[in-house]
Amino acid sequence: MALGHSSQSIFTLLKKYDIKVLRDKAKVERKSNKKLVARLKKMKPKEVDLLVHPLHDEAFEKIDCLECANCCSNISPIITDRDIERLAKYFRIKPADFVEKYLHLDHENDYVFNNTPCPFLGEDNYCSVYDLRPKACAEYPHTDRVKFQQILDLSHKNTSVCPAVVDVFENLKIELGM
**Which residues, 10 to 49, sit near ligand SF4 by CB under 6 A?**
none
User: Among 50-58, 64-72, 93-101, 104-112, which window interacts with ligand SF4 (CB under 6 A)?
Assistant: 64-72
- The verdict on 134 binding ligand SF4 (CB under 6 A) reads yes
Q: Which of 51, 133, 168, 170 binds ligand SF4 (CB under 6 A)?
A: 133
Q: How far is the CB of 87 from ligand SF4 (least distance, A)?
A: 8
Q: Interaction with ligand SF4 in 135-174: which residues (CB under 6 A)?
A: 137, 140-141, 161-164
Nearer to ligand SF4, 5 or 86 (CB): 86
Please give the size of the binding site for ligand SF4, defined by CB under 6 A.
Answer: 22
Smallest distance, Å, CB 85 to ligand SF4?
15
Among 36, 40, 52, 72, binds ligand SF4 (CB under 6 A): 72
The radius of gyration computed from the CA coordinates of the chain, to the nearest angstrom, equals 17
Q: Which of 36, 40, 118, 172 forms a contact with ligand SF4 (CB under 6 A)? A: 118
Q: Which residues of 89-122 are buried (b: 16+ CB within 10 A; e: fewer)?
A: eeeeeeeeebbeebbeeeeeeebbbeeebbebbe
User: What single-letter amino acid sits at 7?
Assistant: S
Are residues 176 and 39 in contact, defined by beta-carbon separation less than 8 angstroms? yes
Binding site for ligand SF4 (CB under 6 A): 63, 65, 68-72, 77, 118, 120-121, 127, 129, 133-134, 137, 140-141, 161-164
